[in-house]
Amino acid sequence: MRRPLAAVLAAAGLVVWLVAVAGLVVTPARADDGPETLAGAVLRWGLNTESNTAAHNPGTYNFLMAGALPDPGRGGQTVPEGQWQQRSGDVAVEKWDARSSAWTDATWAGLRTDSAGVPLQVGVSSNHQLVFSRGAGTLDRAAGTARIAWQGSATVAFYSGFSFFHLSDPVLEVADGRGTLTATLGGFASAQDDPTRWEAAPAATVTVATLPSVSLTGNGFTVDPAYRGVTFDPVTGAQVRSGAYWGSFPAPWVRFMEMLGTGPFWYSSGGSDDAHKVAAPVTVSFDGAAVVVPTPTVATSQPPVVSNSAPPPPRSSPRPTPTSPTTAAATPPDLVVPPVGAAPPAPEPVAALPRPATDLRLAAAPAAPGAAAPTDDRTWPWWAGGALLLLAAAAFVVPPPVRGLR
């Protein structure tokens, strides 16, 4: 009986060892074995709250759309529902739904509500993001470098389209723990004091976000772009460099927006809207099958209403504004009023809320510092196979007990 048992144990041990060897052959190389080629990377960015809220002109909104909005031919036009797109090629717009706690396809009606479905007020975010898919490039975790490019265009509209610009073909480059996101911008120049002005601005590829701390571990990352404490010198007016929310988007980005007449949307100018200009987090997933998803924490209650006492910024070409005997048309303190034929109405009281706090969580992200790192232990077949072979040898070597002896 001992010889058959030994043979069975030896055979089992050899089978387990063969399984271990096969695992070495068929298991793909780990990600840190060398550069990876990416073909399904995903970029998510909502720019800032100012791009996703009610505008100061009553009944108008700031919103995102997929694709490049065509030239309306003249200023003072709003985007009709038939021209708005939720998806165009590899670009989509998604909205955070607080009721289902998930990102969902944006809708035309949803551009005018917050995440709970409540009609927007000035300064309350609708919580939309641009989503660029199928990004291609390379990722070298060991070297700490990456380059990912996306194709497609999106449109950012202010005052329901009185002013808008295109953002196309973003590219992310990472080195030494820092990232730079560039894109091609295009749009049309308008002016507050000249409703007839509507000129195409030459397209330019500029830095749209600087990412100060990027980790290339795991499936991706979410990073707050540099904004707070970033200085910018406007062509007209001045940057206010005090308070909790002072800062700026990258200078090349803001210079382009100054050509369009919307420069103050992107740097602190001293009004209550400064809290809404802070750059929103940028999220990148290296693989569309393992997406890193940010989860915003949004307030569903109505914001407090305050009066804004900040003085208006100086204008480059001031003109007298017609007024009635009793009421003067006021200008929002730090925003460019869209080009319209008549003097703009007095703005509604501004809701001075900070940018919604964001609780960022990574799907399938690496363990937090100090936590035990997950292991991919493939050594157990070797131990199991060795144990079975030792048992087989013992069955041959250890002598059987002698019957009849005590």
Q: Are 350 and 273 in contact (CB under 8 A)?
A: yes
- Provide CB contacts within 8 A for 126, sequence distance 6+: 52, 53, 61, 63, 95, 110, 111, 112, 113, 114, 115, 120
Instruction: Quote the CA–CA distance of 182 and 344 in Å, as a whole number.
Output: 35
pTM of the model: 0.69
pLDDT (tens digit, 0 to 9) for every residue of the chain, 406 residues total?
A: 556 655 655 566 555 555 454 544 333 334 456 899 999 999 999 999 999 999 999 999 999 999 999 999 998 899 999 999 999 999 999 999 999 999 999 999 999 999 999 999 999 999 999 999 999 999 999 999 999 999 999 999 999 999 999 999 999 999 999 999 999 999 999 877 776 789 999 999 999 999 999 999 999 999 999 999 999 999 999 999 999 999 999 999 999 999 999 999 999 999 999 999 999 999 999 998 888 888 886 654 354 443 333 333 333 333 333 333 333 333 344 444 444 433 333 333 333 333 333 332 323 333 333 333 334 444 555 456 666 555 655 555 555 554 544 4
- List beta partners, residue 87: 92
Instruction: Quote the CA–CA distance of 329 and 323 in Å, as a whole number.
Output: 6
Structure tokens at 210: 């600087």
Instruction: Quote the CA–CA distance of 199 and 187 in Å, as a whole number.
Output: 8
Domain boundaries, the chain: 37-307+328-359
